[in-house]
Structure 1
Amino acid sequence: MSSNGTDLTTGFIASIVAIVLFGSNFVPLKKYETGDGMFLQWVLCAAIWLVALVVNLILHCPKFWPFAMVGGCIWATGNIAVVPIIKTIGLGLGILIWGSLNALTGWASSRFGWFGMDAEEVAKPLLNYIGAGLSVVRGCSLAVISGILYGSTFVPIIYIKDHSKRNDSIYAGASQNDLDYVFAHFSGIFLTSTVYFLAYCVAMKNNPKLHPEAVLPGFLSGVLWAIATCCWFVANHSLSAVVSFPIITAGPGFIAAMWGVFMFKEIQGRKNYLLMMLAFCIILTGALCTAFSKI
């Protein structure tokens, strides 16, 4: 198999793993009382950082670029709203909505070169546009904000990679391997979540709402998310963000909806089942169009 074919296979496999884990990572938390979610998000982010530490050691501690932490800071800011979203509009709908905005922001910033990044070209632009559009046709204010923030999380890393090719840039010579930025990215997540949690403790006059029974489920959720994101980094490297974003951000909504149907009974009735299947067909079509635009 050619190197390009190997990259495509690796990228699509990584995308599938990421989709399944992203669609399932909040499942361990669904049946536990999590209160306002501030303590829980700190536990989740601590688990994320520990996974990043392991990955960093496996990669023999590549150079740490502080700017890559900014993406983690953005993600942690969007993540604060996740627990209220799940509790108010449900796991499936929440992920569908913020996933749509995530897909749109991440895809557009890579495709058109926003925020100082290089615009990415694909072999079949029309298919890429159709795929991205179909992935976003699902569109609740917190979920929208979270989606936009999530969609911006990889911008600093892509910016560093793009400018590493320019001799006059401070990022000249930076690694093109997305996994080399995992530790910095996840460190930004943990640092920001810690700052938010400490601010929350101050606001609560040192009486935060803690739910010990949610600690282990929250830790497991963080580990699943971290592994999924590492797979996303691999997919970004193998496929490019303009292809991986619409695929990976659209798919978890369907996985979460399946959990909502079969485990949590969030979706009931023949009409809702038919609507869900229609949504799945649209998502699948969008993912396939995006995938074929690379070939």
Structure 2
Amino acid sequence: MDQVNLEAYLRQQKDLIENEMETRLTELPIPDQLKASMLYSLQAGGKRIRPVLLLASFEAYGTAVEKTLSTAIALEMIHTYSLIHDDLPAMDDDDYRRGQLTNHKKFDEATAILAGDGLLTHSFALIANEPLLTDREKVELTGKIAVASGPLGMVAGQILDMQAENEDISVPLEQLEKIHELKTGELLKFAVYAGAYLGGATEEQLTHLTRFAHYLGLIFQVQDDILDITGIEEALGKPVGSDVNNNKSTYPKLLGLEGAIKQKEIYVEKALASLEQAGAIDSQLKALIDYISNRDH
């Protein structure tokens, strides 16, 4: 897929997700302050990589993408909740996210915490109440997304990341990979798994796709770390060098900038090999590897 077609595809999928997500949240009969806070962060933009990955994985094997929308929206709500909580003073203490005030700066800390809680818990209701999913699919997806986002997944990665801050030496590469496999990779794995599962992929294909998603998550994180050094603040929507200032363990800190770039290239090759084995090398997923690897924000 060429760059023009990829950008058109991403824009189309992003619009689909955002319109559906905004409609569903706006219709909820919840307190105005809570709704405003939840919508504020959901409407702040972003790449929507996770739901787009889910849709692309589904399209590699199936049709009738409508059955995936509730799960894709649930995934983006969980991701957004994690960003709201990451930005809090007790966590990364950030004032800006995607070029605008963070949720707790726009509203207050208590509202931001509750908005995050609301997005997280409502995500499970979206999957459980989706009429286009079978009961078996609802159980499978709810269980998988709970593991990916909870203490065995993203939450574990977040606390390991915090514990790795302010260490006198960088953590070993294997430990750094583990942190990011949990913190970033588990939700990306869920995106790929859920889409392919709903599309009818075989168990063997799902195994190869899980490996593909593992390397894709590492690619995503390496590029994040690189952009924290080389990125442009206007494109990133947050200050450059925040990881350095927070003394976080990163790929450039461990391997140097050139070493981080080379490590990313290793992950790209492994992701492509896994995608080939999954029989999905001709899908949109291949183009998304390049997009995630070379993004500027």
TM-score w.r.t. length of structure 1:
0.29
Q: Which has the higher contact order (CA 8 A, sep 6+)?
A: 1
TM-score computed with the length of structure 2 as normaliser? 0.29
